[in-house]
Structures are given as structure tokens and as C-alpha cells.
A and B are shown apart, each in its own frame.
Chain A
Amino acid sequence: MANVSGKAYALTCLCPIRKGQLDGIAYSDEVRYRLHNWGLLEQSPMAKVPQTYLCRYFVLNDVYYESLPGTEFGGTFFDFLSIFSDRFRRKALPKEDHLKSKYLVFSCNLHGDLDTYLRGMWQAISADIQTIWGFCYGFEKVNDADSFIAYIKKCQLNASLFFNGSNDDPLPEQLKALYVKQEFSRFAEQHQGMSAAQLQQAYQAFIQRIEPDNLARPSWQPGQTSLQLGG
């Protein structure tokens, strides 16, 4: 499966959580608790990580047993095998699988290449990373951006989980585009019915104010999901 779509990258990684407890609370529950205490949207530490389109964290406790196929050919076929012996029939049934440990799942859509992104992530929020990943197997060896990149890549799953709703442009460009769209519709709303000369004048002032070529500001903030009152 392709992790790359244009300049967008889909990262999925499963990091095993150690068995053990902190003051009687399982490490996995502690990780979940700490994640719950992260802010959402603009308040999330992930809003500080450059080029994050969208991301999701969760703790995966186990997988569920995949039951027998209903009455399709396969199902009746298994029953058929009991003619020979029950042991034979059981062996043919789907296996019951379980995970060897619980996992911290980090799924993220980003712009650009993975190494640059993870390096930026470590530089922006290394303290937050350590509070969340601190209970994972092998994470004690992570102490800088390079070891973090290596660790995440080791845990990476080759799954192309792309979120809809964004293209592959750099995040600052997408945020600026959303800002310009919002401000332009507000401009159209507020200046309808003006004479051409007035409109042109107002438009020039508008362009000066919104600075379409300046990606840094004014713009939307990372994590922002809804319209806000313009300044």
C-alpha cells in the first residue's frame, strides 16, 4: 500500500505498551488518561507540530475474534469435515488471534517526507512525546530526534489511511487559503452595491490587509476548524 499521495503522507504506527502498573493503574490506562488530558484542536500539542493535517491517537487493547463465516460454502464445509474427526474440523476453523501487548496507535496525515516531519515533531513537543510514549517498549532508548525517527519507523505499519478533506499542499498554504476564502466572502458581503471606483479602492485596502502572499499572517491557526470573527 502506498503511504504517499502526492506530497501528502499517511503515517500509521503501533507502539507496544509495556505490561506494568503505576500506583496500581495499568500503563495502558495511564497512557489513555494522559491522552485524554491533552487539549483538542488549537489546544492540542499536535497543533505545534509543523505540517500536521490531521492526527489521531488511541490505545488498542486487543483485537476481536473473527467468528465463523455464516452459512456460506466455507462454513458448511467446516461442518462437513467433522465426518472425519472433530479434531480435524476444529483445526480448519479460523484461528483466534490476540495481540501480544497493548498498543499506542498514532495515525497521522502530514505534508512532506516522514523524516522531516518527525524531526519537526520532536523539536516542537519532545516533552509531550515523552509523557505519552514513556511506557512503550524500547522507548527508553529514545533521547533525540534521530532515535525518535528510528523508533517510529520501527513501529510503522504499512497502511495508507488518508483522511479526506485536505489536499497535499503545505499546511500554512492550506490555512492561508481557508483564511482568504473566509475573508473574501466577508468582503463580498460587506461591499455589495458599491460603485466600481469605491469597490476597487476597498479591494486594494482589503488585499493589503489580508496579504495573500504572506503565509505567516494573517491566517488561520493550526488546529482551527471553524470560522472565527475577523479582526
Chain B
Amino acid sequence: MQKELDLLDLQGNIVRAYGRYNFPYARYVFLNIRDGKRGRDFVAAVTREVTTAAKWGDGPDDLKKPLSTVNIALNYPGLKELELPRASLIGFPMEFVMGMKKRKDILGDDGRSAPAHWDPIWRDSRETDRYKDVHIWISINGQAMENVQQRYEWLQQLVTQSAGGVAILSGHRGDDGADQLPFQDVHAVFENGQPTSKEHFGYTDGIGDPVFAGLPGKAERVIGRGKLLKNGRWEPLETGEFILGHRDEANEYPVAPMPQLLSRNGTFMVYRKLHENVGSFNAFLEKEGQKYPGGKELLAAKFVGRWRDNGAPLVSAPDAPSKAAWDQKFSAADPAQRDRMLAEFTFENDMDGAKCPFSAHLRRINPRAALQFQANAFETPTALANRRRVMRRGLPYGEVKDASRDDGNHGIVIMMLNASISRQFEFVQQQWINYGNDFKAGNDKEIILGNHSETLPSRAVLAVAADSDQAPYFLSNIPRMVETRGGDYFFIPSMTALRMIAKGLVDPT
């Protein structure tokens, strides 16, 4: 039976990456709760405008697509300040209770990614001054910047009406490094006036977002995004990998707080501001690209597993001639075929990593069937990846004004949604991004996101086929290309849960 989700109960950011629905601008606002009762009234007022996952349409009974969207999430101290009963609070997973800062050793947030270097809002949150603690995350996505601004002004009014119940926190760095902005603005990277899905290194983001049972969208999108079965067919992942209160890949309900109405149709979100060291990236690519036999663009593709210009997977287009053929087919294809060309692949014909390196971004964050080093080792070829999938949301921030420098205001705000932060996001970050043993790559880190260190320089191997006459290529002294600038772990409640929290009616008994 086709799984049907209660879309009016789910917040819209869970099922939609807004950037892909013509909302290229967004603003993230963080608030501190100063009074429980007035804080709950504020949440109630926001909830009335929260965008759900319901389908948009132009029919008489349809919900119209809005000019801007609103979503809300709470971290653990926020839920406490809203006076959730203790019996519900103790049901939240430990990593969520601890928050992102205290998980820095697991996440590899060291060196220049250490909390001491985070934006002031994150550096000061959950430290000594409770008036600086982040409690609430509110996101506004807009079709145009003015739509975002209008929603923001509405939000400011609600804050004023709360009469000191909540306050907007400042402390986001902006174009001037010392800025204390009261919000984090993000927007798509524009090319020729058109929004793109690219980030500041020039890669296309978010192609391989997971597909799970009940997720609205075309059925064929499951190919390359769901789970691969032994018979070669793709099926959606179980809903409970991404949304609480539903069966997961282990046929269990995810760990979640009581009562069920509080957790069902909610999920956990990792908010992470990542600065991109554009200067280091370009210099490294330029330097190695001059030596690498395949040239600079193939090398850039090797970092990630996709070509920068159109996202062609390296597994399907491993060199210049095959890329030219792929491009030709791609330009003649209709949108559905194009999507399939981008998403449909495994690493079955690349078990030695000769096409897509073991340390490339997409092989690390979603290994598909690549961890099945022997045929038929597992019940399904993707068994080791199915419980480590993460939905990725978010947009780039800032602009690259000088591509030779690291210190501008440019990066990406990424939000990762999953049912278990520790099993999914944290595991991938610790074991697959900052360590390589599962990929038979020893200590090698993921090339782009790895927390490369200056004292113990990182390496990556760009392998060649076992019967090739060519030598493998070694990348050495990989610079840290991405740095953490802050973030925390949030809970995105369902609409039902938001209304219960706002009313102070959560009853775990």
C-alpha cells in the first residue's frame, strides 16, 4: 500500500527544499525565551502562520503557494523554557539534550572550526548568560527579498507584542567580520540573474536528497535516492528514518519523547553554518590541477564525485570523452530523463574507486552500495547506507568578492534532517567525513568537508583501475576548505505538537 503522510501536520521544510521551489531567499532568526507563558503565546502566534507540507495548487479548494514561508523549531533549552513537562523532556535523545557545541569532539569541530571561533551568537549560546541562549529557530523563505523582509517585519511585531516574552538574538557575522547582525541571511548563488543550485565552490548541491515512503513527488525520483534492492529495483526508504512516529529501516519506531502526539510527524534538525575557504579551495585546485593528468575540471569533479558544470556523476562520465557523450545525451533529454541521468547510479562498476574516488564527497555522504565489497554480502546492497541517510536543506550565504581569499563572508547554511542525529548526521560526520576506514581509505578524510589539519597533513588517493597503466594520483597537504561557524540541534515539531506546546497542554501521562 502506498504510504500516505498527514501533510497538513508536517512542517513544510521537512518535505520541501524551498530553494528548489522558487524560494531563493531566506532569513534565519534565533530567539531567546524570557518568560514561559508569553513565550508560549508567541509560539502560538507564529504557529498560525507556519507553512505546512500540504500541496499547493490553483484550484478553488487548493492552498495557494505563498510568497513567503515560515517554519519554526526548538532546541532543548528552548523546550525547557517553554515549560514542557519533565517526563517529556527526559525522552529526548542525549545528543539533542547536549547540543552541537558539546558534541565537538565527535563532529571534529577543532582548530578553526572550534566553538571559540564561531559567530558570537553561537559562541555565547548555552554558556553562562541565559539571556544569550538560543532557544527558537525561525526560518523565512521568500520568492523575492521583499517577501522575506515583509515576513520579518511581521515577526518583529510578534516579538514586540510578546512584551518581553521573547527577544531576537543578534551576533551573526555578515560582510563586515565584526557584524552583530540580528539574523542570518542566505540566498541562492545567481548566474546571469537566475538563481542556481550552486554553492561558492561552483558545485551543484542537493541532487541526491533521499526519497522515503510518503514523500510527495514523482515516483521515478526514487531511482538513485531510495534504497537499492537485490533485484536491482529502487524503493523508498522507510519514513521513520526521517520522521518520528513512523516505522524505520529496523522496523522500529525511532527513539522519541512521550506523548506520541508530541513527537509524531516531527523530526530533528542540525543547523550548521559552514564557512567556505574559497581562496584555499581555488589555490589548491589550481596547484594540483596543473599536475593532475586529467586536468583541473576533472580534478574538481574528483573532489566531489560530480562535474561542476552540470552535475554529471563521475561514475557515468569518468573522463573527458565519456563526459562529452554524457553532455550530448543530457542536452537532448527531457527533464525526467535528465533527473534520472543525474541520480541513477551505484558504484557497482567502480568498486576500486577509479572513477569516483573513495574520499569524494558524494561517495562518503551516501555510499549507496559501495560498502558491499563482496557481492550479496548483505540483505540489500545498500544495507550499510540506509540507516545513515540525511535530508539536506539550506542555501549559501554571502558573496565571493575576491576568489583568492578565504576571509570574506561566504559559505553555506546547511540544515540536516533525520530521525536520529547520533545515528545519522553524527555518524556520517565522524566516521565517513573525518575518517576513512569503512571505505578502505585508512585515515583519509572526505576531501571537501574533512577537518584537515595543518600539523598532520591530509591525503587522498585518486585511484586508477587495477589493470590501468597509469599511476594513481595522491593529493597531499589538503587545506581545510570548510570551517564550522556555529549551529545547534533543533526539534521540528508537527503542527499538532506546536499547538500543544503553545497551549502548555503536553501531557506525557
A residues engaging B (CB < 8 A)? 185, 188-190, 192-193, 226-229
Contacts and interface: CB of A to CB of B under 8 A. Distances in A.
Given A189-B476, A192-B474, A229-B456, 9 more contacts: A185-B459, A188-B474, A190-B476, A192-B471, A192-B473, A226-B456, A227-B443, A228-B456, A229-B455
Contacts of B291: 193
A216 B356 CA distance: 40
Contacts of B459: 185, 189
Q: Interface residues of B: mostly helix, strand, loop or mixed? A: mixed
Interface size class of B (residues with CB under 8 A): under 10
Contacts of B471: 192
Q: Interface residues of A: mostly helix, strand, loop or mixed? A: loop
A227 B476 contact: no
Nearest to B291: A193
A185 to B, nearest CB: 7
Contacts of A193: 291
Interface string B464-499: 000000010110100000000000000000000000
Contacts of A228: 456
Interface string B415-458: 00000000000000000000000000001000000000001100
* Residue among A185, A190, A227 having the largest count of chain B Cβ atoms under 10 Å: A185
Contacts of A190: 476
7 shortest A-B CB distances, which residue pairs?
A189-B474, A189-B476, A192-B474, A189-B459, A188-B474, A227-B456, A193-B291
A188 B471 CA distance: 10
B437 to A, nearest CB: 11
A229 B443 CA distance: 14
A192 B473 CA distance: 7
A106 to B, nearest CB: 29
A228 B456 CA distance: 7
Nearest to A228: B456
B442 to A, nearest CB: 8
Contacts of A227: 443, 456
A63 to B, nearest CB: 27
A141 to B, nearest CB: 45
Contacts of B455: 229
Interface string B276-301: 00000000000000010000000000
A189 B462 CA distance: 11
A192 B443 CA distance: 20
Nearest to B443: A227
Contacts of B456: 226-229
Contacts of A189: 459, 474, 476
